Structure 1
Amino acid sequence: MLQLMLHSHPRIAVPPETRFLVPAYFRRRIYGDLRSASARTALAQWIATDRNSKFRELKIDKDDFVRQATEGPGSLGSVIGTAFRMYADRFGKVRWGDKRPSYVKQVDMLLRLFPDAQFVHLIRDGRDCVASLKEMPWYTLNSFHAVSTWAEAIDAGRKLRRTMAKDNYYELRYEELTDDPSTELKKLCEFLEEDFDPAMVSPREAAEIAVPVHKVWHSNTHGDVTRSRVGSWANRLEDWEIALCEQALGERLKSHGYELSGGDRAAKEHMLAWQKTMQKRRASRMRKQMRDRINRLREPAPVAALLTSGQRALAGIPQQRAEAPVTERV
């Protein structure tokens, strides 16, 4: 819903989830020095053709993308950013974004790629999030993982709120957004330094263009903004799942203004299973972070995007005299 609201803005394009940004980052060593045109070509071809990539949903020409990425600046962020810039060009827009829930835990990586990025974190009642995850046809994990996913996102958001500048990180609640879209979107546009556009309040028109037909789980985006799903966890979760959510996530829920039902405590075996799940996920995440730290010590090529005047300025690259002003931001 928020993706479509932003995509409805006349200056902003936000595509469906592409799923190639993070894999491209962790595969970067395979392609060597991206200051070489042949390396950029190889990376761009992988992005455009890998079977796990959702590049096709951008509906931009594959060969044109490979050409522009090859001719563009020699950095990982530039190759990736070229795909999103071309998507924005489809709609005559100057800014682009990308949406994926897991990005809240990958901000450090994203800032390496796009140092001028702004981050918008949409927070929803954790119980509703668990209920929704369980119903997704692509979600294959159990309820313990679903509860852990929300806990990790909230913890990551807390850290970002403490450490990031106010003009780089912004939080809003799903419940308030659906209750008063105009007010919340005006505040969001102020953060983005954009003028509010009334079209953002009615994103169903954008859904016809920006939501792939096969994503039937996003069917609600084709109608008016609704609060029908707010608090629906009470009818969608089993009693033991509600008890687990409220005991495991209680402090996090209350800190964001969500009231607890006051029901029974979770069974001891359920709490132990959740804690074990959290420990395994934390260990896996730390191993991945450690591998990335090691890889950063022997970085094969520049990482940060160099597609805009702002990005080049952050990289310390002098502006060209004849360059027209560029206003894109991530």
Structure 2
Amino acid sequence: MTGRLGPVLIIGTERSGSNLLRLILNAHSRIAVPHPPHFMRYLAPLAASYDRLPAAAGRARATADALGLLRRHIHPWPHPVDADRVLAAAEPGHGLFGIVAAIYDEHRIAEGKARWGCKSTFMVDHVADVLAVRPDARFVWLVRDPCDVAASAKRAVFGPSHPYRTALLWRAQQDRARAALDAHGPDVVHLLRYEDLVSNTAEEVGRLCDFLGEELEPAMLEHHRSADARRTAGLAQAWRQAGQPVTNHRVGTGRTGLTTRERLLVDKVTGPVKESLGYPVDPAAAGTPDPSPLAVALGSAWLRARIEWRSARNDDNYRARMRRDAYVRFLRLRTAAARAAAPPGAGGRRHQAHGGSTA
């Protein structure tokens, strides 16, 4: 089998097993998949601010912002990344993702591997940007029962917390992933269900390797023994399972982790999409009334307060997450201030020149 060199990107929704899949892929001798700082999620909305600058200055600013995000990452990368090498490698006209790809390439080279991967599921919003820069990229659409995703999100620092909001996000992101599969075909987008991955691990990882043009390696089935897995498991409560063998005991957690009303709400919001992916929908869901915006807001605030309290007590990377969030707020405020100070009608270069689509 001849291995390909294109990057591997996991797309879908958080709390779907992407950390497990990252560690499985990273255990391969040819694939380097560091924990993602979510470059595109945080920086793509700022792309217009880079466009307003002269080309070289815009690229330098975007690179500096990306590396600032990396320095504040909640799961620090093991190798330093040099800004000058990134700027030299990122071709002008390749947009923000060109810079992101150059950063990941730096990590790949330091790891001594042939290709890199990214587990930022938010890249489902940037499939076109990726393919414009790396037409050899491959996407793994990882999907999980939305009720189980919502049950996990209720306790995790990642995601919208409230099951209703989680369901809306899940539906939107699966729609985008489906559109990518329809547009580019199964040779570019591989659909993988979490439930199948944890129940038939060797078979599903083998199919995934076939899709990627790689050989299945035994280390992929023993991912939990890696130093990366042990380190990940020690950083945050939400990642504790990273240091354990693959198990299917988290399949069906929505039955106990959600109330009956929450489960029916998730099924109502996600219904047709959920069924199309092979998950049953409760017939009673259709008659469940939607919650009021106030109820969702208050419920979200209560869940978030509990989550943050637990994280502050239990997560070794809690302070790192606070620093990261403060840095993102700073970038947004700086962008807003620059926009307010710009003369009327100031536009700058075409948006595609640095940011591509931010949809």
Deviation at 1:36, TM superposition (A): 5.8
Q: What amino acid sits opposite 1:102 in the alignment?
A: F
Specify the alignment match of 1:46 in structure 2. Answer: 65
User: Would you say 1:244 and 2:265 are equivalent positions?
Assistant: yes
Aligned position for 1:58: 77
The answer to whether the 8 Å contact 2:30/2:115 transfers is yes
What are the Cα deviations for residues 125-152 of structure 1, in whole angstroms up to 9, with x where unaligned? 1110111111112445522211101111
Tell me how far apart the structure 1 counterparts of residues 257 and 60 of structure 2 sit (CA, whole Å).
Answer: 47
1:226-283 per-residue CA deviation (whole Å, 9 max, x = no partner) reads 000001111110110111122332322222222245556553243x769x99xxxxxx
Identity, % of aligned positions? 24
Q: Tell whether 2:113 aligns with 1:93.
A: yes
Q: Is the alpha carbon distance of 1:110 and 1:23 closer, same or farther for their aligned partners in structure 2, counting shifts above 3 Å? A: farther
Q: 1:9 aligns with which of 28, 49, 55?
A: 28
Query: Structure 1 246/33 Cα, relative in aligned 2: closer, same or farther at 3 Å?
Result: closer
Residue 225 of structure 2 corresponds to 205
Equivalence for 2:334: none
- Deviation at residue 154 of structure 1 after TM alignment: 2.1
Q: Is the 8 A contact 1:117 1:168 kept in 2?
A: yes
Conserved? CA contact 2:64–2:83, under 8 Å: yes
Name the residue aligned to 1:162: 182
Shift in CA distance, 298/230, structure 1 to aligned 2, threshold 3 Å:
same
Q: In the alignment, is the contact (CA less than 8 A) between 2:153 and 2:161 conserved in 1?
A: no
- Please say which of residues 30-39 and 167-176 is displaced more in the overlay: 30-39
Q: List alignment gaps of at least 5 residues for structure 2.
A: 1-19, 298-346
Q: 1:149 to 1:297 in 2, by over 3 A?
A: same
> Which shows bigger deviation, 87-96 or 4-13?
87-96
Cα offset, 1:123, TM superposition: 0.9
Partner SS, residue 27 of structure 1: helix
- Equivalent-residue separation in structure 2 for 1:247 and 1:31 (angstroms): 41
Does the Cα contact within 8 Å between 2:209 and 2:215 map onto a contact in 1? yes
1:147-189 deviations in whole A, cap 9, x for unaligned?
1011112222222222113221110111111111111111111
- Structure 1 partner of 2:343: none
Query: Partner residue of 2:210?
Result: 190
1:224: how far off? 0.4
Once the 2 structures are TM-superposed, how far is the Cα of residue 90 of structure 1 from its aligned partner? 2.7
Q: How many residues get paired?
A: 283
2:103 to 63, 80, 83: 83
**Contact 1:69 1:79 (C-alpha < 8 Å) held by counterparts:** yes
Residue 92 (structure 2) pairs with residue 71 (structure 1): no
Change (3 A) 1:248 1:44: closer
Residue 27 of structure 1, aligned match among 46, 59, 72: 46
Q: Does structure 2 conserve the Cα–Cα contact (< 8 Å) formed by 1:41 and 1:67?
A: no
Determine if the alignment matches structure 1 residue 222 to structure 2 residue 243.
Answer: yes
- TM-score scaled to structure 2, two decimals? 0.69
2:127 to 107, 129, 140: 107
SS in 1 for 2:118: coil
Contact 1:69 1:78 in 2 (8 A): no
Q: Which amino acid aligns with 1:257?
A: G
Unaligned runs of 5+ in 1: 278-294, 305-330
The answer to whether 1:298 aligns with 2:319 is: no
Matching residue's letter, 2:255: A
- 1:255 is matched with which residue? 276
Determine if contact 2:160/2:166 at 8 Å carries over to the other structure.
no
Larger relative CO (CA 8 A, sep 6+): 1 or 2?
2
Q: Provide closer, same or farther for how the CA distance between residues 144 and 170 of structure 1 changes in structure 2, counting only shifts above 3 A.
A: same
The residue that corresponds to 1:146 in the other structure is 166
- What's the TM-score, normalizing by structure 1? 0.74
Residue 33 of structure 2 aligns to which amino acid in structure 1? V
Deviations 1:69-117 (CA, angstroms, capped at 9, x unpaired): 2333334344222211121123211100111222223322333343332
Q: Which amino acid aligns with 1:84?
A: Y
> In structure 1, how many angstroms separate the alpha carbons of the residues matched to 2:71 and 2:124?
21
On the 8 A contact 1:112/1:303 being kept in 2, the answer is no
Specify the SS of the correspondent of 1:225.
coil
Larger mean Cα displacement after TM superposition, 107-116 or 243-252: 107-116
